[in-house]
Amino acid sequence: MDRKLPDDCLDQIFRYLAENACSLYSCLLVNKQWASVTVPILWTNPWKYEKPSKDEIDETFWPLIIKTVYSCFSFDTKDLLRKNGLDLILEGCSSAMYDYVRYCQHLSPEIIDQLTHERSFNEPPGDLYRPFLDQLVEQELYKLFMSKSSLRHLVLPKIPLSYCPGFGLCLQKLRELVCRSDQSVDLFYGLAQICRSIQGIIVDPCIDDNTGLAALIEFQSNLKYLEIHAPEARAAECTSIGQAIVSQARSLIYVHFQGFLCIHPSILASLSNLKTLKLFMSGHIANIQQFASSTFPKLEILDIFWDEHTPFQIFTMLIQNTKGSLKRIYWNTDCPPTNSEDIRYYLNILTHNAFSNLTFVTVWWTEDVDREFEKFLKSCSNLQALKICSFPLDGIPQAITRLLQLLSKYTPPRLNVLDIDGDWILSPDHLQKFLESWKKKPRLSLFISPKITLLEEHKHLINLYQEMGVLEHFQGAEFLDEVECLKDLFDLWLSS
C-alpha cells in the first residue's frame, strides 16, 4: 500500500510554511516528492527570504539565488555571455535541477539590479565596458523571466519589455503593477492590450496626466486597489486619469492618495463601493468643501496619516457624511482641533448610533469635554483600539489623572490597545492605579508618546504588570502604524 501523501495535500500543508524559509528549506531535503512540491512555493517570491529575521543579514543569500537563476539561462544565452567575456559570472552554474524561474510571480528593477550587480564580472582594464556588460546581463535576465514566468506582481522597468519573447503570456495574469506616470504612453497602451485582470495599481510618482496609463486603468475588469503619489509641485488635476478612475467606481474598494489630490473631489465621491480611504496630504486639497461633502456609504477605514493644511472641521464633516460602516478612524495629522468645541462636536458625532461599528478610533481629550468623552466610551461597545491625543498642543504637558479615571471606569469591554499621544504628565502613582484597575480586563497593549517622561519607577511598574499578565505590550511610539507588534492587526483591519 502506498502511504505517501499526494502532492496536492503536501502543497496545502507546505503553504502554511510559506513565511518560514528555514522550514521550507528543510522540506527540500526530505525526498524528491517533497522537493518538487516545495520548490514552487519557495520560488513564488524567493526575494522575500533575504532577511530571515529583523537583526540577521544572510551574506550567502544573493550569491546562492544568483547562481540558481543563472543556471536557468538557455545554452544560447550562456554562450552569448561567454563571448562577451562574462565567463566568471557563469562559474558553477550548471544546468538547473528545476525550472525555478518558471514559478516566480514577483519581479522589480531592484531585483534585476541585485541579480546583475551582486556577481563579480571579469571586467576589462579601466572598467570602460561595465555599463555595456550590465545592460547585457540585465537584458538577458528580463528575457529569461518574460519567457518563463507568469508574473502576478511587477514593478515596471524603464526599458521596453516588448522585445522579450513571451512577454505577453508572462503578463497576462498580472494582478499588481507599480509604475510611474512619466513612462512611455505606448508602453501603457501595450500593457492595456495584454493585462485586463490587474487588481492593484500603484503610481509613484504621478507627475503628468498620462493617457496611456488612463487607458490601462480603464481597461481593467476588476480594479480594487489604487495608490497615487502626486508631488505637491504637480498641483494640477489629472483629467484623463480621473475619468478612468470613474470607470472603475464599481470595483474600487481601496484608494490611497499621497502628496497632492490630483483628481477632482467629485471623482473621489463617485466611488460608492469604497471601503478604505488613506490620505497623506502635503498639499492643499482643491474644492475642499466638495471634498468634505463626499458620501461614502460603505467606507470602513479612514486613515489620515498627515495633513498640514486641511482644517479639522473638514474631516469631521467627511466622517459625519459616512453611513455608519466605519470601523477605523486612524489620525496622524498636523491639523488637530483648534478649540474644545471642535472636540466636543467630533465626540458627539462618534457617539451617534451610526458609529457603533467602530473598532479603532482617534480622539482628542481635555477636561472641558468630560461629559462627551464619557458618552463616547459608553456608546462604542465594539471598540478594540483607542488613540487619545492631548489638547491643547501648545507644548504645555496636560494632567492625565482625570483621563485615566474615565478610562478605568467606562472602558469598552473589548478594548485591548491604548495609545496615549501628545504632552502628558504621568506619575508612577497614576500609572499604578490605572494598571490595577485593568486587572480583570483584556490584556492591554499600551503605547505612550515619546514626550512622556519615564522614570525607573515607571519601568519597574511596567515590568511588574507585564509579569502579572495585565500588560501584553508596552512601548513608546509616535505612530501606531509603525509598531511592529501591531502590524498584523493593521493588516487585518486593512483587509476587512
pLDDT by residue, tens only, the chain of 496 residues: 356 777 778 777 777 777 777 777 777 777 788 778 788 888 999 998 876 555 555 677 888 888 889 989 988 988 898 888 777 677 767 777 888 999 999 999 999 999 987 655 555 544 656 778 888 899 999 999 999 999 999 999 987 887 788 888 999 999 999 999 999 999 999 999 999 999 999 999 999 999 999 999 999 999 999 999 998 766 678 999 999 999 999 999 999 999 888 998 889 889 999 999 999 887 777 788 888 888 899 999 999 988 778 888 989 999 998 888 899 999 887 778 889 999 999 999 999 878 889 999 999 999 899 999 999 999 998 999 999 998 875 667 788 999 999 999 999 999 999 999 988 889 999 999 999 999 999 999 999 998 888 999 999 999 999 999 999 999 998 888 778 877 776 665 444 4
Q: Beta strand 176-179 with 200-203: parallel, antiparallel or unpaired?
A: parallel
CATH number of 336-496: 3.80.10.10
Q: What are phi and psi of 357, to 5 degrees?
A: -85, -5
Rg (CA), the chain: 27
Give me the long-range contacts of 1-7 (CB less than 8 A, separation at least 24): 4/33, 7/33, 7/36, 7/37
**Would you give the DSSP letter of residue 5?**
P
Rounded Cα gap, residues 407 and 434, in angstroms: 8
What 3-state class would DSSP assign to 355? Answer: helix
Q: What is the pTM of this model?
A: 0.87
Angle at 439 between CA 437 and CA 443, to 5 degrees: 115
